[in-house]
Amino acid sequence: MYAIVEIAGQQFKVEKGREIFTHRLEGDVDAALVFDKVLLVDNGGDVQIGAPSVGGASINATIVEHLRGEKVIVFKKKRRKGYRVRNGHRQYLTRIRIDEIKL
């Protein structure tokens, strides 16, 4: 059984027991979360597609940890002008564990 759910503006394919990384969410570690914006549910071949979301379906999750992602280097250059700029960025992330998919 899996579901497609919208979390923090992004869509994720989730299954029970799987851990996913999302943009930073509000809440402490071990806090329970409920996501109601379920777009699709596949229950062993029985597919329910929402318009825009599946009625009565929800995802229960738990915050595992808050962390920062890998460093991404942003390098800008204009040739023959001597212009070079180098910046780094680390995205704030939250790792959540999917506990249950309710229909």
Q: Where are the domains of the chain?
A: 2-102
CA atoms of 15 and 49, how far apart (whole Å): 16
8 Å CB contact between 68 and 92: yes
- The pTM score is 0.82
8 Å CB contact between 11 and 50: no
Residues for the chain: how many in total?
103
pLDDT in tens, the chain (103 residues): 999 999 999 999 999 999 999 999 999 999 999 999 999 999 888 999 988 899 899 999 999 999 999 999 999 999 999 999 999 999 999 999 999 999 8
